[in-house]
């Protein structure tokens, strides 16, 4: 759908709800009028909710992003790969061998990550990529020195320092860090916004970048969110 189609069909669905007396004769149907900024807010929120549902397995397939080819195809436009050799300094790690990398600004969910090792101690395995396993600080203190569960020649560990920086713990020298991830989608903005308005720091008209197959689901979720915002108790079981 284009932004115009989103806007027009949003109005059609809202009017259908308003005209069916589902809220009782005493309800003022004019309360269900929304401007383009408000519609953009609900469409963007619906888009993000649906992506999270698809990623986590809250979908008709009951499977998460990694388990279903169809789900991966729905979200394929959001998948990006980022590789960096830029090690950040000024951080104190949990291990003497820790290195730190900055994550991309638009990263939302990591789907795969690895590091490339360059270390003479590895012999012919130097230059190989190994998997990175995310863990918490509590888990690190339990397994960090375990030769089987901790960092070794087959895996490194990742701890989150912040939304922007990760700590990689490896037994060997890390040359580079690769992360494949779902990026946060741009908001759906139906028209250029006034100077004092923005959605996710964007104020210009922006089309939905997701697979058109799920555009209608986004629209219907947005309309539901809009109605719930105006009509108390709507949407409750």
pLDDT at residue 64 in the model: 59
Residues 81 and 169 grouped into a single domain: yes
Cβ-Cβ contacts under 8 Å for 93 (sequence gap 6 or more): 99, 100, 167, 169
Residues 119 and 98 grouped into a single domain: yes
- Of the pLDDT bands very low, low, confident and very high (cuts 50, 70, 90), residue 25 is low
Percent of all residues in the chain with a pLDDT value above 70, rounded to a whole number: 89
**Three-state SS sequence of 54-83:** HHHCCCCCCCCHHHCHHHHHHCHHHEEEEE
> What pTM value is reported for the model?
0.82
The lowest-confidence range among 65-69, 99-103, 125-129, 229-233 is 65-69
Residues 177 and 101 grouped into a single domain: yes
Establish if 224 belongs to a structural domain: yes
Residues 81 and 26 grouped into a single domain: no
Residues 124 and 165 grouped into a single domain: yes
- Of the pLDDT bands very low, low, confident and very high (cuts 50, 70, 90), residue 21 is low
Establish if 190 belongs to a structural domain: no
Q: For residue range 76-96, what is the model confidence (pLDDT) as tens digits?
A: 889 999 999 999 999 998 888
Whether 40 has a pLDDT exceeding 80, the answer reads: yes
Both tokens of 206, joined, read 């922006």
pLDDT at residue 86 in the model: 97
- Cβ 90 vs Cβ 187: under 8 Å: no
Establish if 193 belongs to a structural domain: no
Exposed e or buried b per residue across 42-64, where buried means at least 16 C-beta atoms within 10 angstroms of its C-beta? bbbbbbbebbeebbeeebeeeee
Whether 207 has a pLDDT exceeding 80, the answer reads: yes
Establish if 191 belongs to a structural domain: no
Residues 146 and 218 grouped into a single domain: no
Query: H-type helices in 113-214, by residue range?
Result: 137-143
Both tokens of 154, joined, read 């087959």
pLDDT at residue 236 in the model: 53
DSSP designation for 163? S
DSSP designation for 189? B
Establish if 203 belongs to a structural domain: no
- Cβ 125 vs Cβ 117: under 8 Å: yes
SS3 134: strand
Residues 70 and 86 grouped into a single domain: no
Q: For residue range 147-180, what is the model confidence (pLDDT) as tens digits?
A: 778 899 999 999 998 879 999 999 999 999 999 9
Find, among 13, 41, 38, 36, the residue nearest to 190 by Cα: 36
Residues 219 and 170 grouped into a single domain: no
What is the number of domains present in the chain? 2
Whether 237 has a pLDDT exceeding 50, the answer reads: no
- Range of the structural domain that residue 38 is part of: 3-74+210-230
Q: For residue range 112-136, what is the model confidence (pLDDT) as tens digits?
A: 999 999 999 999 999 999 999 999 9
pLDDT at residue 24 in the model: 57
What CA–CA distances, in Å, run from 107 to 81, 142, 172, 181?
A: 10, 28, 26, 6
Residues 138 and 223 grouped into a single domain: no
SS3 203: coil
Establish if 201 belongs to a structural domain: no
- Of the pLDDT bands very low, low, confident and very high (cuts 50, 70, 90), residue 219 is very high
Residues 121 and 150 grouped into a single domain: yes
Establish if 204 belongs to a structural domain: no
Establish if 200 belongs to a structural domain: no
């Amino acid at each position: 759908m284009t932004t115009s189609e989103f806007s027009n069909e949003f109005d059609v669905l809202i009017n259908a709800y308003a005209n069916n007396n589902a809220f009782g004769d005493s309800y003022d149907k004019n309360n269900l009028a929304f401007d383009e900024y408000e519609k953009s807010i609900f469409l963007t929120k619906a888009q993000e909710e649906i992506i999270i549902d698809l990623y986590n397995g809250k979908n008709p397939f009951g499977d998460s992003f990694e388990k279903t080819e169809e789900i991966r195809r729905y979200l394929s436009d959001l998948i990006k790969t980022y590789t960096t050799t830029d090690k950040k300094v000024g951080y104190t790690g949990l291990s003497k061998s820790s290195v730190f990398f900055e994550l991309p600004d638009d990263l939302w969910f990591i789907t795969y990550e690895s590091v490339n090792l360059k270390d003479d101690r590895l012999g012919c395995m130097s230059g190989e990529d190994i998997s990175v396993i995310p863990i918490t600080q509590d888990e690190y203190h339990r397994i960090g020195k375990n030769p089987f569960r901790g960092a070794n020649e087959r895996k490194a560990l990742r701890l989150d320092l912040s939304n922007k920086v990760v700590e990689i713990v490896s037994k060997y020298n890390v040359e580079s860090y690769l992360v494949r991830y779902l990026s946060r989608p741009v908001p759906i903005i139906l028209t250029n916004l006034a100077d004092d308005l923005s959605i996710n720091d964007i104020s210009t008209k922006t089309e939905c970048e997701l697979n058109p197959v799920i555009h209608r689901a986004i629209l219907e979720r947005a309309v539901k969110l809009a109605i719930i915002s105006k009509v108390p108790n709507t949407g409750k079981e």
